[in-house]
Every structure is written in structure tokens, then in C-alpha cells.
Amino acid sequence: MKLATAIFFMILTFSLAVPTASAPAQELTKLRMTIPVTSLTFYPVFVAQDKGFFKKHGVDFEIVVTQGDGPDVDSLLAGSVEFTATPPHRLFSAYEQGRKLLGIVSLMNKNGINCFMSKKSAEKAGVTESTPLAEKIKKLKGLTIGATRAGAFTFQLATDYIKRGGYTPQEDVKIVGVGGGPSMLAAVEQGRIDMGCISSPAPELAVSRGQSIMWVNNTKGEDPEFSEFLMEVLYVRPDYALKNPDTVRKVAAALVDALQFIVKAPDSEHLPILKKNFGGVSDEVLLESLANTRKTVDPTGRISKKSVDAHVNFLKSAGLLKGDIPWDAVVSNEYLPK
């Protein structure tokens, strides 16, 4: 992929991966996929692209980064892309609105959003990294939390923590959209916000720079509310899957190959991929971020009822869903390799 990146994030990527030596000689099916941001929550997509797993299975992807979730799913609904990899909340809200989408591969089955706080704000609030999470939540009053954009999962997570503390969002604790990793890091270090919530490697990078602490590391399971939680999933439109089942299976198989590579391959095989997609970040931070990411991956790609129900309950508690969602109405494991 060609990356237009400031520190480690891209605006747009194009598929340039070379097929592996064992790739069959065949005409590749050209496809488009959106992802909301360049982060390790979508590492399976980067691995499938850079290791040639997509082309091995006969598909050739153009990956478009939309800089926040929302436009990514809108592109799928509009038919301008065939797939999107993103958090699943739009699966559920679309179902309530009568616009069905289908989740077919779990890319991350634990909460992959971590929050980091400036040391100055942490000292003022009277918290450290080792302070119990419940106590940290109680000390959010008067602070400003940065999310990628209003309505994004990062915004919803901040809302959840505020409500858990018994506070009212935007009254007792403010939430502001600040964009992706570089802008969020700058906002925390410049004191414009007290804390930022985003996926790896931004939080790990922030801590490594010495001006922030990790407020909560969800990839390590520090918040028991997210022990099994459908975080990132590959979406497809049901009508497309019905008309193109073989293509959908090929894409799913390529991503399962990537998930297994993430779990099994040594760090030395990951570093070239990480450095290509997250330039400007030290090897040490990249490998720490990878170690965190590995804890969130199920190499089978299967979507469990428990992980779906956990996310639905999270959205219901935030007031973003009206009722329960039948899990098998919005996800399917039938396109995964047998």
C-alpha cells in the first residue's frame, strides 16, 4: 500500500501487494474496502494486503481510509465499495432502521480502544496508571476527553465511562472530536484536552513520549466490562453476498489467513509490515502495540453471540439502541473457511 502519512496515519491506500509465490495464475477480482482510520485494530487488513493473502485467494483490493467511522459504512450502503472493516454499531443501528447489513468476519473480539491521559491532568485529578479503574472513572468530573469524531466508537466509549461515573456527558465532562492519532496526541500534549481515547499504536506512542500515562488499556483486559466484545468486523451488504458468495468466501479466507499469521508469526516477520504502515514509530512501540493487539484476535474469525450481545448491551446503556438485536440477524459465520 502507498501511504500518505504524517506520523503513522494515512489518508488513502492503494493495493500494491505482490502475490506470494504459491498464488495461482488467475484473473483477480477487483474490489474496494473502506476502513475508518489507520490503526492496529485493522491490522488484519494490512497483513492480508501486504502478505499477498488477498491476491492468493483471487481478489485485489483498493483500501480507502475515511478518517473516522460513519463515512466508511455510508460508502458500503451507497454501493461505492463492496466491503468495510469497522466497529459493528452500524450493523445494529441499520437493523433498527430496516437497512440490513451483514458482519461476516471478526477482526477483533475485545475492545481495542485505549485511553491515555496527560501527566499534568492525571496529577491534578489524583490518579496514576495503577489507580483502580473505578476510582479513575469517579475522578473524570471537569475534564475534557478527546474522541476521533462525534458518533464514533471512541466517542461512545468516552460517554460510557462518564455515565459509569454518575456524570452527565457535555455537562460534567466534555467530549470533543479531535481526529486521528497525530492530532489527538498533539491535543493531549498541548493541554487542549486532558485525555484521548483511540486504538493502537497512538496510546502506546503517547506514553513512550513521556508526557502521558495509560489511563486504561482495554486490549490487556483492564476493563472487565469488555472481556469478550465484538470490536471490529468485516461488513458486506446481504444482497452482494447473495449474488457473489464465492467472492465473499475468498475475502473471508484471506482475512482468516491474516488472523492466523498475526497469532503465529514471529515479531521479525511483523516488523516490516508494521514499519511500512506506521512509519515514524519506534520498533519498541510497534512491538508493544502488536503484543496488545494479539490479545484481541481470534484466529478463526468466528463471531460469537456473547461478543455481539456485549456490544449491543453497551450501545443500549449509552442510549444508542432502543432494544435487543437478534445476533444471527446481523452476523453470519457461513462464509468463513470450513
Strand partners, 85: 234
Exposed/middle/buried for 18, CB within 10 Å: 0-12, 13-18, 19+? exposed
Q: Is the pLDDT of residue 136 over 60?
A: yes
Residue 304 has pLDDT above 50, yes or no: yes
> Measured in whole angstroms, how far is the alpha carbon of residue 92 from the centre of its chain?
17
Q: Residue for cell digits 473524570?
A: 140
Q: What is the mean pLDDT of residues 8-13?
A: 34
SS3 breakdown of the chain: % helix, strand, coil, rounded to 5? 45, 20, 40
| pLDDT for 6 beyond 70 | no
Give the whole-number percent of the chain exceeding pLDDT 70: 92
Name the more confident of 129 and 319: 129
SS (H, E, C) 161-210: HHHHCCCCECCCEEEEECCCHHHHHHHHHCCCCCEEEEECCHHHHHHHCC
Q: C-alpha grid cell for residue 84?
A: 468495510
**pTM, rounded to two decimals:** 0.80
Read off the pLDDT band of 25 (50, 70, 90). Answer: low
Residue 160: partners with Cβ closer than 8 Å, 6 or more residues away: 314, 317, 318
Check residue 181 and give its pLDDT.
Answer: 85
265 phi and psi, to 5 degrees?
A: -70, 145
259 Cβ contact partners less than 8 Å away, ≥ 6 residues apart: 44, 107, 297, 298, 299, 300, 301
Question: What is the pLDDT at residue 133?
Answer: 97
- Predicted confidence at residue 1, as pLDDT, reads 38
Q: How far apart (Å, rounded) are the C-alpha atoms in residues 187 and 163?
A: 23
Lowest mean per-residue pLDDT among 58-72, 175-189, 223-237, 267-281: 58-72
Q: Phi/psi at 302 (nearest 5 deg)? A: -70, 145
For residues 174-180, give the mean pLDDT.
Answer: 92
- DSSP code at position 140: -
Provide the percentage of residues in the chain whose pLDDT is more than 90: 71
Q: Domains of the chain by range and CATH?
A: 29-110+228-330 (3.40.190.10), 113-226 (3.40.190.10)
Q: What number is the average pLDDT over the span 118-129?
A: 97
Averaged over 278-290, what is the pLDDT?
89
Mean pLDDT over 91-114 rounds to 92
User: Which pLDDT tens digit goes with each residue over 306-329?
Assistant: 999 999 999 988 788 888 999 999
Based on the number of CB atoms within 10 Å of its own CB, is 5 exposed (0-12), middle (13-18) or buried (19 or more)? Answer: middle
* Average pLDDT score, the chain: 89
What pLDDT was estimated at residue 11?
33
How confident is the model over 250-279, as a mean pLDDT? 95
Distance, in Å, from the CA atom of 289 to the CA atom of 278, rounded to the nearest integer, reads 11
Q: Binning pLDDT at 50, 70 and 90, where does residue 20 land? A: very low
pLDDT at 26: 66
**Radius of gyration, CA atoms only, the chain:** 19
